[in-house]
Amino acid sequence: MQQKKLAFIGAGNMSRSIISGLIQSGYSQENILASNPSTPKLDALKKDFGIHTSQSNDEACQFADAIVLAVKPQMMGEMCQALQNNNLSDKLFLSIAAGLPVARLQAMLGGDYPVVRIMPNTPSLLGKGMSGMYADDKVSAADKQYVDDVMGSVGETVWVEQEEGINGVIAAAGSSPAYFFLFLQAMQEEAMNMGFEKDIARKMVQQAMLGAAEMVCHNQNLELSELRAQVTSKGGTTAAACNTLIDEGLSDTVAKAMRAAVARAEEMAKQL
């Protein structure tokens, strides 16, 4: 992997996940800096990973060849405008913010700089992330490879050809860990209604989910419907449960939820 000087502006959950993956992949701690207004997260990053830290985004800018814009979308305008005090030419920008198109980010930064949009997810913290990326032709092939390597250090990557595709990545991968947590929560609650202690209920549903996820990943040649069929005895308990989910409109509900995520990303692009 190229070892550019890489700064993270905003030292929150996602930055921590990516920094952790980079260090584990052998990226030099000397080449990473994180900036944040308050110190506790910076202190933890310095202690855990030995990277440089600063409370000054200007210092982050001066340090870096590549800058990860990792603040909440609502903070991005103000933060980027303040970066304009620095010489931003020759910098590569990586934005992980939901709902902010490249053109909008360039307007916030005050120039036509190369910007890669990335949509990661929180399992990146465990090296099991899924990131979708988009870059226009201002971003060189070498820089695209660099970004692929950076995000590849925390999981799998895909590139989308059209920028709108990023909203699909949000719906399918950026937000979707929360859908699975919600599903498990509902299962845990019902297991408790059936008389199990909370921790036993959690143990059962989490282990079933882990096993199911591993089966999906280790059987790429089998369709998801086939994996389901293998659990489902004719006229048995799984059929009773799955038919209930199907009859209650699970597919439609999931489709509606994913469309809602896309619609919200589109709305954010207009508002921010």
Ligand X SMILES: NC(=O)C1=CN([C@@H]2O[C@H](COP(=O)(O)OP(=O)(O)OC[C@H]3O[C@@H](n4cnc5c(N)ncnc54)[C@H](OP(=O)(O)O)[C@@H]3O)[C@@H](O)[C@H]2O)C=CC1
Ligand Y SMILES: O=C(O)[C@@H]1CCC=N1
H or E, element range at 67: strand 66-69
Please give the residue ranges that form the binding site for ligand Y (CB under 6 A): 98, 170, 174-175
Binding to ligand X, residues 229-268 (CB under 6 A): none
11 among the known binding-site residues? yes
Q: Are strands 6-9 and 52-54 parallel, antiparallel or unpaired?
A: unpaired
Let me know the angle formed at the C-alpha of 50 by 4 and 62, rounded to the nearest 5 degrees.
40
- Is residue 171 at the binding interface for ligand X, with CB under 6 A as the rule? no
Residue 77 interface partner, choices ligand X, ligand Y, none, CB cut-off 5-8 Å depending on type: none
- The residue (of 61 and 154) whose beta carbon lies closer to ligand Y is 154
Place of tokens 């947590």: 181
CB atoms within 10 A of CB 74: 12
Radius of gyration (C-alpha) of the chain in whole angstroms: 21
Is-contact 104 95, C-beta < 8 A?
no
Q: Apex CA 217: angle with CA 142 and CA 260, to 5°?
A: 75
Q: One symbol per residue from 131 to 170: x for binding ligand X (CB under 6 A), - otherwise; what is it?
A: ----------------------------------------
In this structure, what token pair is assigned to residue 147? Answer: 């970004």
Q: How many Å apart are CA 15 and CA 41, to the nearest integer?
A: 10
Is the dihedral angle over the CA atoms 103, 130, 29, 138 positive or is it negative? negative
Q: Shortest distance, CB of residue 174 to ligand Y, whole angstroms?
A: 3
For residue 12, the partner it binds in ligand X, ligand Y, none, with Cβ less than 5 to 8 A by kind, is ligand X
Stretch that binds ligand X, among 4-12, 85-93, 144-152, 182-190 (CB under 6 A): 4-12
Q: Which residue's structure tokens are 């929180």? A: 122
Closer by beta carbon to ligand X, 114 or else 132: 132
**According to CB under 6 A, which one of 20, 22, 31, 36 is a site residue for ligand X?**
36
Site for ligand X in 16-35 (CB under 6 A): 35
Q: Which does 20 bind (CB under 5 to 8 A by kind): ligand X, ligand Y, none?
A: none
Known binding-site residues equal 9-14, 57, 70-73
Q: Give the footprint of ligand X on this chain (CB under 6 A).
A: 9-15, 35-38, 41, 57, 70-73, 75, 79, 96-98, 119-122, 174
